[in-house]
Chains A and B, each alone.
Chain A
């Protein structure tokens, strides 16, 4: 069946109605424009669109911000990777130098030359560390072949005291470190000259990484920031090896109560790599 032309169909009324509405709207718009106003339908549409447009703008702003944040995070990640690789490279170089140094020492020994270090100082690599904090705090060290580590040797770094060898076999040994709850070192505070004992940390205290300087006289004039070094008492440790710095002084106020100082050790025990093994004289 042939389709009738559009103008002969009933829909023309709808089209005429829509056209009439369009004309009315346009006339309304022009009349309002001539009076420097906005027509009511346009105002109504504007009122409805405004908040939606504002929400879209805010949404885009948030999305743009998120993209910028992701970009910045990527940049930081790249920078972090670059720095990590630089550190790894430097650590590799350091290890290489230290290995060369050990080879040099071995060659000196084999060729019969005197060692440049004092005969009682042996460089050793930290090859292990004990686990949980409530267990004994020890490090396992290994010197170059040909060097013997003995029980009682003192372990230190260039920064300060690490601990003492408690078990040794050949060029390997196990040393308790200052963080061990049972460690004890005779110490002197500089410059005040007050003498005491540095004990391992109190694991129940809020800061279990601080050593305790105890057996201080209640009138001892010590203050925060003073250095604590090993004292020349007994033959366990050579004197004047740095231990740490006083962070806090507690007690000494009640009658008969002695003072205790909390000491921040110089050595970062969780970053130990190489140490020096010192043989106490006498």
Chain B
């Protein structure tokens, strides 16, 4: 049931990300809702669930953005897995951890992209990354609240 719920949320997030209204974009940058969702799933349900969520989220994200498919899958899966490693730590139970996790997830995904598929122009990419970091941090409490609610409704089994 949580898998279905998360898949629906990935679908909505990917669609919303693409249809993000122009007035709400900052310098044409929309938040990476799917990536934030993957990170939130990771910290609430563990590394395996985060890894699988990264695969599903990456598939939705790559199919909707027409970006580098393998890079997007890889970055989302790594973000989900590493976010899952933080599961069970005290600080992640607080909702204010969500912006921190979102910022770290965005940085990590950007780093992977920089290594695997470097952008043609670095400085504009850096500016977009900075805006994306802030935007994802602002959006993250909403994603985190949703994921936590799903987790309370269908608690995760004990994992690593």
Mark A residues whose CB is within 8 Å of B.
3, 6, 9, 11, 14-15, 18-19, 21-22, 25-26, 29-30, 33, 41-42, 45-46, 48-49, 52-57, 60, 63-64
Size bin of chain B's contact surface: 20 to 34
Q: Does B105 touch A at the CB level, under 8 Å?
A: no
User: Contact between A26 and B159 (Cβ–Cβ < 8 Å)?
Assistant: no
User: Contact between A49 and B11 (Cβ–Cβ < 8 Å)?
Assistant: yes
With A and B bound together, what is the CA distance between A15 and B54 in angstroms? 11
For the complex formed, measure the closest distance between the CB of B119 and the CB atoms of chain A, giving whole angstroms. Answer: 20
User: Contact between B18 and A41 (Cβ–Cβ < 8 Å)?
Assistant: no
Looking across the interface, which residue of chain A has its beta carbon closest to that of B58? A22
User: Contact between B19 and A29 (Cβ–Cβ < 8 Å)?
Assistant: no
Q: Does B63 touch A at the CB level, under 8 Å?
A: yes
| Chain A residues with CB under 8 A of B115 | none
User: Contact between B69 and A52 (Cβ–Cβ < 8 Å)?
Assistant: no
Q: Does B21 touch A at the CB level, under 8 Å?
A: yes
For the complex formed, measure the closest distance between the CB of B150 and the CB atoms of chain A, giving whole angstroms. Answer: 19
Looking across the interface, which residue of chain A has its beta carbon closest to that of B77? A22
Secondary structure of the A side of the interface?
Answer: helix
User: Contact between B70 and A15 (Cβ–Cβ < 8 Å)?
Assistant: no
Q: Does B48 touch A at the CB level, under 8 Å?
A: yes
User: Contact between A42 and B62 (Cβ–Cβ < 8 Å)?
Assistant: yes
User: Contact between B160 and A11 (Cβ–Cβ < 8 Å)?
Assistant: yes
User: Contact between A22 and B69 (Cβ–Cβ < 8 Å)?
Assistant: no
User: Contact between A49 and B23 (Cβ–Cβ < 8 Å)?
Assistant: no
Q: Does B55 touch A at the CB level, under 8 Å?
A: yes
Looking across the interface, which residue of chain A has its beta carbon closest to that of B23? A64
The residue from B11, B47, B51, B59 contacting A52, defined by CB atoms under 8 A apart: B11
With A and B bound together, what is the CA distance between A30 and B71 in angstroms? 12
Looking across the interface, which residue of chain A has its beta carbon closest to that of B12? A52
Q: Does B73 touch A at the CB level, under 8 Å?
A: yes
Q: Does B15 touch A at the CB level, under 8 Å?
A: yes
Q: Does B14 touch A at the CB level, under 8 Å?
A: yes
Q: Does B64 touch A at the CB level, under 8 Å?
A: yes
| Chain B residues with CB under 8 A of A29 | 62, 69-70
With A and B bound together, what is the CA distance between A31 and B77 in angstroms? 22
Could you give 27 example pairs across A and B, Cβ below 8 Å? A14-B48, A15-B47, A15-B48, A15-B51, A15-B81, A18-B52, A18-B55, A18-B77, A19-B51, A19-B77, A21-B55, A22-B77, A25-B59, A25-B69, A26-B69, A30-B69, A42-B59, A42-B63, A45-B60, A49-B14, A49-B60, A49-B64, A53-B15, A53-B18, A53-B19, A56-B15, A63-B21
